Amino acid sequence: MSESVLPSGLCVALSGGVGGAKLALGLSRCLADDDLLIVANTGDDFEHLGLHVSPDLDTVMYTLAGLSNLETGWGLAGESWGFLEALEALGGETWFRLGDRDLATHVERSRRLRQGESLSEVTRTLCSSLGIEARIVPMTDDRVSTVVHSDAGDLDFQHYFVREGCRPAVSGFHFAGIEDAAAAPEFQAAITADELCCVIVCPSNPFVSVDPILLLPGVAGALLAGSAPIVAVSPIVGGEAIKGPAAKMMRELDLPVSAVEVARHYRRRDLLHGFVLDEVDAKLAPEIEDLGLGVLVTDTVMNSLDDRVRLAQETLAFACRLA
């Protein structure tokens, strides 16, 4: 551990899949379990083969459990594919790659949801079974479905993301059901708690991973009413996304593909106080400061576990300074 000052109180981390999960893992190594709540996007959840699949939530869980497949960025390490091979032979739907072990998560989650457990409760049980001590919650226990408006029509998110391999050009996004959804109880409690000391927006896709979380009824209001600084780590480095379609989406939306644009995106709704910029983008710091934000310039590319922990520490210390 470095000598950085870490916040005292509760830190809420908002995360999508791969990049977000990496920083969430780093944060979990810096903070006591009670001082961190990891909130995962569930706008990309979908019903597939009769199962409730929560791709971002699973990526966060598997990453925190040390079980994730580091090469693919999704699924489990050491996975086997007997199910999918057999399903293919039966002419089933195989575009979403469900490994044999991963499948157990979806089957058990679906079984518990059918029995009336909330997604938060199911997630708590799954995390416990996987030996995860950090607290991970879905953004909501209700159903929110990200729809991608594209030149191939309106697509369910996983159809856009996996089945179509992000090829369609996007023109916008819709979060079906969000107006009737509530933030998950632990998430709602955390952002209205006196002990909330910072909110970390992990380096995830602003449009389809973080926006669904921030746009849940009551979330922005609670954050605006509170005094905890909100700090985002840029998912755009050197004009490209580390992983995923964020940069491609920005081009298609006629936005500059730049970390500045990500900062502007959150700032537009007043939901940002500090921004963590990669060293390769150091020259952009003044533009971001001009938005009225604090800026931390550091190495944000997380290759090793040490990288994840160091970036988490630096981000937390930066948030402390903004408080």
Q: Of the candidates 18, 27, 84, 237, which one interacts with a second copy according to CB under 8 A?
A: 84
Q: Cα–Cα distance between 40 and 18 in angstroms, integer?
A: 11
10 Å CB burial of residue 286 (0-12, 13-18, 19+) is exposed
Under rule CB under 8 A, residue 230 binds a second copy: no
User: Is residue 92 a contact point for a second copy (CB under 8 A)?
Assistant: yes
Q: Is 289 in the site for a second copy (CB under 8 A)?
A: no
Work out whether 96 is an interface residue with a second copy (CB under 8 A).
Answer: no
Torsion of CA 82, 119, 147, 177, to 10 degrees: 150
**DSSP states along 48-93:** ETTEEE-HHHHHHHHHHTT-B-TTTSSSBTT---HHHHHHHHTT--
What's the full length of the chain, in residues?
A: 323
For residue 55 the two structure tokens come to 């791709």
Residue from 79, 164, 252, 307 in contact with a second copy (CB under 8 A) = 79
136 binds a second copy (CB under 8 A): no
Q: Cα–Cα distance between 13 and 35 in angstroms, integer? A: 11
124 binds a second copy (CB under 8 A): no
Two structure tokens written together for 268? 């537009």
Structure tokens at 281: 């983008």
User: Nearer Cβ to a second copy, position 3 or 78?
Assistant: 78
SS3 291: coil
With contacts defined by CB under 8 A, how many residues of the chain interact with a second copy?
Answer: 33
**Residue among 45, 56, 58, 102 that touches a second copy (CB under 8 A):** 102
Tell me how far CA of residue 43 lies from CA of 64, 169, 270, 300, in angstroms: 20, 19, 22, 25
Q: What is the rounded distance in angstroms from the CA atom of residue 283 to the CA atom of residue 83? A: 50
Q: Which of 111, 163, 174, 268 binds a second copy (CB under 8 A)?
A: 111
Out of 4, 96, 100, 152, the only residue in the binding site for a second copy (CB under 8 A) is 100
User: Is residue 1 involved in binding a second copy (CB under 8 A)?
Assistant: no
Beta-bridge partner residues of 296:
276
> Of 8, 21, 16, which is closest to residue 311 (Cα–Cα)?
21
Per-residue string for binding with a second copy, 291-320, x by CB under 8 A? ------------------------------
Q: Per rule CB under 8 A, is residue 91 in the interface with a second copy?
A: yes
Q: How far is the CB of 108 from a second copy (least distance, A)?
A: 4
Strand partners, 175: 146
The reply to whether 86 sits near a second copy by the rule CB under 8 A is yes
Name the E strands within 152-205: 153-156, 170-176, 196-201
Binding test (CB under 8 A) with a second copy, winner from 71, 114, 153, 254: 114
- 72 touching a second copy, by CB under 8 A: no
Which of 101, 143, 251, 321 is close enough to bind a second copy by CB under 8 A?
A: 101
Find, among 182, 140, 134, 147, the residue nearest to 21 by Cα. Answer: 134
Question: Which parts of 35-64 interact with a second copy (CB under 8 A)?
Answer: 49-51
77 binds a second copy (CB under 8 A): no
Please identify, among the stretches 12-20, 126-134, 193-201, 305-313, the one whose residues bind a second copy according to the rule CB under 8 A.
Answer: 126-134
User: What residue ranges bind a second copy (CB under 8 A)?
Assistant: 49-51, 76, 79-80, 82-87, 89-93, 99-105, 107-108, 110-111, 114, 125-126, 129-130
